[in-house]
Structure 1
């Protein structure tokens, strides 16, 4: 493994050097743990946004974390791959102005707005985080796409939608849904006959003893992951009248996107002085993605799936 591809080298050394170049309290870790998740912050600080907490009891999203992830992935994005990546990812869908799209991992709405702007399609975004759903919808309103790229909060563990769509889309999210069978049921019911499903997700190649890096990733993700194997994913979809057309391992490309973004962020931060909360958010975000990279090099895989709902399925 080259130094550039290895988690923690060289960007983590640079990040730590940048961090230690400032006079921070010796007990900065303790201070971080004790920081209260208050909704109203003192003057001059960034607020913690109200919403669901992680499985460790901390708010999942804050204004500061949103700033960090947008600097990392691009405006409107919370996961790897920004505006330039989306057209390549969704190319199999053949989007056009007559088509409706349901995005089940809308985040801040970057992907939905890109699809709507470039192809003229109508995107309904659904997001598990109420904070991201609210922030994302505000961005759609500001960009003049309130109707063409809407975003609402939903519970993916109990997903149902009254409408049916030409396409359903999601990026690296389904593995964080425990009730996968229920989610797949909802997807099948929400697709029109000949409707298309395109998503990327974290999966295992096969059932086998997990590496230390994968166990560490599972143990420390803010939202607990429940990855299926690639074959379990395919079989579950096939049972729901979905014909798998693309089943592609994109791990190398995904890992490259992550490492390039972290390197770019590290270089950007090297010449800037940030407040303590922002530094903590940066380090936490980078460490989270470093764990994902390590897992992706030790048994976890990133896949792109594309499926077509067979025309003789339930018309609903």
Structure 2
């Protein structure tokens, strides 16, 4: 008789790079029962769906990518944000970054997200925190978006642009949306074209929930030059991000081993571990790097000649 392996065993196997054959067993929800003998199922909030809740348990409430609030705070620190500034957040996911900026710095944030479900859930989460107007997330199409011109002081994007194919068109539109004196901060994954072996890269791409379109560091440098931005920081933060991923999973798995994991979250958790361990392998191979970019423009160039 085949027996499905315990969650902890499967997680440990993926963590250490072993392959296990697992026979899945479906288990229905068990209704809750109160003191009056009436059975019912707890109503879940939209952000409590397994595919959204599991990443938040690992990275932090409102975040679907590594580092959560602490990483965002570190990334935006050089921007000098305050309550007088307006910020464009590109690829907002659940809006955790947008809400942190609005809450901690007082800035007005407009988030844009390609996924319609994430957009609606992000709106609900912002409203829940009383930030429905100050950290509002909109649905957008990267290849055809038109932002209000000269509307933002800063544009930020964390772990989102690697999913977008036509980055040049999008970032050109972002450039038009920024004021003359402005800043751009991007954290993204890039391809190292000097590494020929793409085995680990291909395995990571296969595990991603959507298409992956990687630029190189040279692509980013070239675009910022074309947009007349001064690229102040172009830093390889691969080692830091790798450590963040491993530390976050280690901490969560220790807690899960003690407190347990809801049955409804088990398969999603296993998939999440596999996905991020494949990214770690791709980072270790050198084919993929994590970049942090911070660009500054003192003033937009005028197209008018002096009379």
User: Offset at 1:88?
Assistant: 1.5
Aligned to 2:92: 106
* 2:198 paired with 1:202: no
* 2:24 paired with 1:28: yes
Of 267, 276, 280, 1:280 maps to 267
User: Offset at 1:188?
Assistant: 1.2
User: Offset at 1:220?
Assistant: 2.9
Deviation digits for residues 60-100 of structure 1 (CA, Å, limit 9, x no counterpart): x9811111011010011111112223222111211011100
Deviation digits for residues 155-194 of structure 1 (CA, Å, limit 9, x no counterpart): 2233321242100001011111111221121121111112
Aligned to 2:59: 73
Instruction: Report matched runs for 1:180-259 at 5 Å.
Output: 180-259=167-246
Aligned to 1:292: 279
Aligned to 2:34: none
Aligned to 1:135: 121
Judged with a 3 Å threshold, the aligned counterparts in structure 2 of structure 1 residues 223 and 236 are, in CA distance, closer, same or farther, namely: same
Report if the CA contact (8 A) 1:191-1:309 is conserved: no
| TM-score normalised by L of structure 2 | 0.82
Deviation digits for residues 246-266 of structure 1 (CA, Å, limit 9, x no counterpart): 101111111111111111121
Of 124, 128, 150, 2:110 maps to 124
Secondary structure of the 2:64 match is coil
Aligned to 1:64: 50
Q: Which runs of 4+ in 1 moved over 4 A?
A: 11-14, 43-49
Instruction: Tell me how many residue pairs correspond in the alignment.
Output: 277
Larger Rg: 2
Aligned to 2:297: 309
Structure 2 alignment gaps of length 5 or more: 1-6, 15-21, 28-39
Residues 150-159 or 188-197, more deviating: 150-159
User: Offset at 1:268?
Assistant: 1.8
User: Offset at 1:272?
Assistant: 3.9
- Distance in 1 (CA, whole Å) between partners of 2:13 and 2:50 is 21
Instruction: Report matched runs for 1:259-278 at 5 Å.
Output: 259-278=246-265
User: Offset at 1:46?
Assistant: 8.3
Instruction: Report matched runs for 1:38-57 at 5 Å.
Output: 44=41
Q: CA RMSD in A?
A: 2.8
Secondary structure of the 1:306 match is strand
Aligned to 1:88: 74
- Distance in 1 (CA, whole Å) between partners of 2:77 and 2:45 is 37
